[in-house]
Structure 1
Amino acid sequence: MLKLSNDDRKALREAIQSAYPDRASLEIFVDDELNQNLAVVAGDGKHDKVIFDLIKWAIAKGYIDDLILALAADTENRPDIQQFCRQVLRQRLVLNPPDGVTRELSLDLDPSAWDIDIRSEELEGFLPQQFTFEADVGKLQEGLGLANAVCKITFSDRPARESGTGVLIAPDLVLTNFHVLSREVGADLNALAQTAQFEFGYVSTPFGEPRRTQQLTVAGQTPVVAASPIAQLDYALIRLSPGTNFAVKPVPLNATAQLKPRSPLNILQHPEGEALKVSLSNNGVVKTNEPKGLVLYVNPTKQGASGSPCFDDDWHLVALHHKALQTSFGSVREGILMSAIYPQIASFL
């Protein structure tokens, strides 16, 4: 929730007074945009006192971000109010965390090639709610139970920081990004896959206990059974040689998911080659582009998260994390929808 300074609250009072100079217009705004009765939440006093009490109520009840977003949407012809709303929201939104959590390697791909159309107003609507009491413990346990199916991908001839992430979608098949293997069109993916190591179970352990990981390599000379270049769907499906002691279950897929704006999205990833991390959001989806097979979201990621599985609220695989994009407002992440990938790989599953 937004935490306004004294100056912010004063500026907000002045903005509301200017936009809705009489009680009737303010009543309509509060009813239409907040679905609240002005008399109930702010009383019947003088207009300036009603505005003061409205803001006080919005802060106390956790509606202050909704109030400011509604004000911005309802005053598009008022540059002065728009400037105030944008300034406050930009100060508060955590789309570019200070620890560099969005840092990822560039793919040298023009966003226009993906038909990216993202306006700052669409990102301003995302005030990521922190998971506290809102997180269902059973759902979390279900998701974390999939952790064993996510692997860190490293290469014998590359620095550790140039790692990636993959996910097991069949007993011996891992899905990751094409660009985790190579960023060049026409590269020999099979040869590159021969140098890769797929490490499952790379998670932190309590009290400094040793990790019990399983390190797999590819099967045969042609392990890449399907792939799509970076400028298309940017995926590689790789066959592994699991051996008799490998008993990890693949993740469940949802190739028909209809991801709507502000719906939940969860990502299991190995950022910067570190132990497995989970990035949760209960409103993280920004928008989708079904024809292009893309989904945009605000979940934080880092370099090394390429190829990470993106799950819906039921912990079904719905997308493959691809990259971060910079916009004029902040950064947004981009994934490849499983609905686009699945038709190309279904015969191998």
Structure 2
Amino acid sequence: MSYAMSKFGYVTLELDGPAQNQLADTLLEAFPDEDEVNKLLKELDLPVARFAARKLTTTVTSIVDNARGKGWDGNLVLAARATNPGNLRMQRFAAAHFKQPLKIHWGADVEDVDLSHENAEPKLERLVNLRLGIQSIGLLLEQWTRMSQQVCKVEVSLPTGTASGTGFLVGPNAVLTNFHVVEPLLEAKRGAGSVKCRFDYLADTRPLRGTTKPLSSAKAFPIAWAKYSAADAQSSDADSLPGFSELDYALLVLEKRVGDEEILAGGTKRGFVPIRDAPTPDDESALYAADAPIVIVQHPNGRPLSVAMDTQGVIGLNGNGTRLRYRTNTEPGSSGSPCCTMDLRPIALHHAGDPNYDALHKPTFNQGIPLHLIVGDMKERFQEAHALLG
């Protein structure tokens, strides 16, 4: 973190005469030789020659006077504290003059740094990754329990056998998955009766195998959809990009309002994953930025509900924002899974992985469709389907 005025802006403390003298004495203790003082000046992007003098006391006094006169005495204190964080006298001086938390901007993130502790003791712990924060375990358990009840295995009966994908409730009776999961049924001219959604499939033992829920025969199958793109078969964006109508999604309507089922004591309903107001990159760019976390709740290879997470999973959006790429693991059968933040906010629909299947190639990415694009497509082309979203 640089506190140089050209990068951080000017922080002015307006130190009076006694405080200036105290700061000079503190700096001399914290930076007792010329090399250390020069290091501090470089942290502030200031030329060493401007303050050079035969005596170190003269150099430091000149720095303090210039800082006070030109309004960067706050920068000087912050830089000195950061450069020598173990010096208690410097810590205490900063605490005495920064009474309110200081807002520090790290890209799209803002951290309130409190320098006002009475004893100004050095902190032994810090928030190193602001995107992750520290989560309440009680809240996490509640969120994960709800998500486990809302994600399902999509079981597809084909003339040649069975196949599966993943889906999740996005309304009381609406399940979102990928178009390519149900496409073989459409090609075989089979309808909703060939699909079942298995909820609560947590293990292969009988009590935890879950229950299947049929689709409605009275609604279109699927009620909303968009095909995938030929560009999804390319590892690079160099040749072409998916179009904004090539979103590889299908919305399935269940026979009953499964999301309204009471599944826990006290009348707690299953609920659904809210996507109607899915965040956009314009509104919350940090969620789509490189190294942001991604969590994918899925039924890999048709197995019981599983999760893959990578706290620095995001690679970034493709050239036109129609695909979000990430490093988080998936397997066949994971198509249609929700891609979420660490606190399980849904941002994308997983649909595919690195298409280079050369035996010597190490996969470099998986990818999903930003949910805000899917919601927008439904709103424009499938108003009845859009109304089903919770």
Taking structure 2 as the reference length, the TM-score comes to 0.50
Give 3-state SS (helix, strand or coil) of 1:180's partner.
helix
Is the Cα–Cα contact under 8 Å of residues 192 and 217 in structure 2 kept in the other structure?
Answer: no
**What is the CA distance between 1:282 and its match in structure 2?**
1.7
User: Paired residue for 1:297?
Assistant: 326
Query: Structure 2 vs 1, CA of residues 210 and 345 (structure 1 numbering), >3 Å: closer, same or farther?
Result: same
Q: Give 4+ residue runs of structure 1 displaced > 4 Å after superposition.
A: 133-136, 326-329
- The aligned runs of 1:168-183 (5 Å cut-off) are 168-182=169-183
Is the Cα–Cα contact under 8 Å of residues 199 and 211 in structure 2 kept in the other structure?
Answer: yes
Identify which of 296, 299, 303 aligns with 1:270: 299
Is the Cα–Cα contact under 8 Å of residues 247 and 374 in structure 2 kept in the other structure?
Answer: yes
**What is the CA distance between 1:199 and its match in structure 2?**
0.5
Is the Cα–Cα contact under 8 Å of residues 326 and 332 in structure 1 kept in the other structure?
Answer: no
Query: Structure 2 vs 1, CA of residues 324 and 234 (structure 1 numbering), >3 Å: closer, same or farther?
Result: same
1:229 and 2:236 aligned: no
Query: Structure 2 vs 1, CA of residues 148 and 211 (structure 1 numbering), >3 Å: closer, same or farther?
Result: same
- The aligned runs of 1:52-67 (5 Å cut-off) are none
Query: Structure 2 vs 1, CA of residues 288 and 144 (structure 1 numbering), >3 Å: closer, same or farther?
Result: farther
Which AA in structure 2 matches 1:257? T
User: Paired residue for 1:151?
Assistant: 152
Which AA in structure 1 matches 2:378? I
Give 3-state SS (helix, strand or coil) of 1:306's partner.
coil
1:344 and 2:374 aligned: no
Query: Structure 2 vs 1, CA of residues 301 and 135 (structure 1 numbering), >3 Å: closer, same or farther?
Result: farther
Is the Cα–Cα contact under 8 Å of residues 163 and 180 in structure 1 kept in the other structure?
Answer: yes
User: Paired residue for 1:167?
Assistant: 168
**What is the CA distance between 1:293 and its match in structure 2?**
1.7
1:156-215 deviation per Cα after TM superposition (whole angstroms, max 9, x unaligned):
33545x31001110111111000001269xx4598343311111111128xx56226231
User: Paired residue for 1:251?
Assistant: 273
Identify which of 320, 332, 337 aligns with 2:365: 332
Which AA in structure 2 matches 1:213? G
Taking structure 1 as the reference length, the TM-score comes to 0.56
Which AA in structure 1 matches 2:350? H
Distance in 2, Cα, partners of 1:198 & 1:334:
23
Is the Cα–Cα contact under 8 Å of residues 255 and 338 in structure 1 kept in the other structure?
Answer: yes
1:46-93 deviation per Cα after TM superposition (whole angstroms, max 9, x unaligned):
xxxxxxxxxxxxxxxxxxxxxxxxxxxxxxxxxxxxxxxxxxxxxxxx
User: Paired residue for 1:203?
Assistant: 202
Give 3-state SS (helix, strand or coil) of 1:191's partner.
coil
User: Paired residue for 2:214?
Assistant: 217
- The aligned runs of 1:107-122 (5 Å cut-off) are none
Query: Structure 2 vs 1, CA of residues 188 and 194 (structure 1 numbering), >3 Å: closer, same or farther?
Result: farther
Identify unmatched segments of 5+ residues in structure 2: 1-34, 45-78, 86-128, 230-245, 263-269, 282-287
- The aligned runs of 1:30-41 (5 Å cut-off) are none
Distance in 1, Cα, partners of 2:307 & 2:362:
25
- The aligned runs of 1:5-84 (5 Å cut-off) are none
Which structure is higher in RCO with an 8 Å CA cutoff and minimum separation 6? 1
Identify which of 216, 233, 242 aligns with 2:256: 242
1:193 and 2:215 aligned: no
Is the Cα–Cα contact under 8 Å of residues 203 and 209 in structure 2 kept in the other structure?
Answer: no
Distance in 2, Cα, partners of 1:308 & 1:335:
9
Is the Cα–Cα contact under 8 Å of residues 217 and 240 in structure 1 kept in the other structure?
Answer: yes
> Greater CA radius of gyration, 1 or 2?
2
**What is the CA distance between 1:251 and its match in structure 2?**
0.7
Is the Cα–Cα contact under 8 Å of residues 150 and 169 in structure 2 kept in the other structure?
Answer: yes
Task: Give the total of aligned pairs.
Answer: 228
**What is the CA distance between 1:296 and its match in structure 2?**
0.3
Which AA in structure 2 matches 1:214? T
Distance in 1, Cα, partners of 2:254 & 2:346:
20
Which AA in structure 2 matches 1:238? L
Give 3-state SS (helix, strand or coil) of 2:354's partner.
strand
Query: Over the residues paired in the alignment, what is the CA RMSD in angstroms?
Result: 3.7
**What is the CA distance between 1:154 and its match in structure 2?**
1.2
Distance in 2, Cα, partners of 1:284 & 1:215:
32
The more displaced of 287-296 and 225-234 is: 287-296
Identify unmatched segments of 5+ residues in structure 1: 1-22, 42-128
**What is the CA distance between 1:218 and its match in structure 2?**
1.3
1:293-323 deviation per Cα after TM superposition (whole angstroms, max 9, x unaligned):
2100011111100011111233222111011
User: Paired residue for 2:342?
Assistant: 313
Is the Cα–Cα contact under 8 Å of residues 224 and 236 in structure 1 kept in the other structure?
Answer: yes
**What is the CA distance between 1:291 and its match in structure 2?**
2.9
User: Paired residue for 1:88?
Assistant: none
Distance in 1, Cα, partners of 2:333 & 2:157:
16
